[in-house]
A and B are shown apart, each in its own frame.
Chain A
Amino acid sequence: MLPLIRILIENIFKPPITEDISSVNLPKHPKGFHGYPEHDPTRCIACGICQYFCPAKVIKISQIDDKINYHMDLDQCTCCGQCIDYCPTNAIKHMPNPYFVTTNLDDFKVDHQINLIKCAKCDAFIPDMTLIANKLFGEGKPIPKHLSMCPKCKRKP
Chain B
Amino acid sequence: MIFKIGRSKSPWLFHLNTGSCNGCDIEIVALLASRYDVERLGCKLVGSPKHADICLVTGPVTARSKEPLLRIYDMLPNPKVIVCIGACSISSGVFTDGYSIVGPAHNLIPVTAYVGGCSAHPKNIFLGLQKAIEVFKEGR
CB within 8 Å of B: which residues of A?
Answer: 16, 18-22, 24, 26-27, 29, 33, 35-36, 55-57, 73-80, 98-103, 105, 108
- Is the CB–CB distance between B124 and A99 below 8 Å? yes
Residue of A nearest to B125 (CB): A101
Interface size class of B (residues with CB under 8 A): 20 to 34
Q: In this complex, which of B36, B92, B94 has the most chain A Cβ atoms within 10 angstroms of its Cβ?
A: B94
Q: Mostly helix, strand, loop or mixed at chain A's interface?
A: loop
- Tell whether A56 pairs with B123 under 8 Å between CB atoms, given A21-B130, A22-B130, A26-B36: no
Please report the C-alpha to C-alpha distance between residue A74 and residue B10 in the assembled complex, in whole angstroms.
32
- Is the CB–CB distance between B124 and A98 below 8 Å? yes
- Tell whether A76 pairs with B41 under 8 Å between CB atoms, given A36-B116, A99-B123, A102-B113: no
Q: Mostly helix, strand, loop or mixed at chain B's interface?
A: helix
- Is the CB–CB distance between A100 and B117 below 8 Å? yes
**CB of B103, distance to nearest CB on chain A (Å):** 13
CB within 8 Å of A: which residues of B?
Answer: 9-10, 35-36, 40-43, 87, 90-94, 96, 106, 112-118, 121, 123-124, 126-131, 133
Residue numbers in B under 8 Å from A19 (CB-CB): 40-41
Residue of A nearest to B104 (CB): A75
Q: Can you pick out 21 interface pairs between chain A and chain B where the beta carbons lie within 8 Å of each other?
A: A16-B9, A18-B9, A21-B129, A26-B36, A26-B123, A27-B36, A33-B121, A36-B116, A36-B117, A55-B94, A56-B87, A76-B87, A76-B91, A76-B92, A77-B87, A79-B118, A99-B123, A99-B127, A105-B90, A105-B91, A108-B90
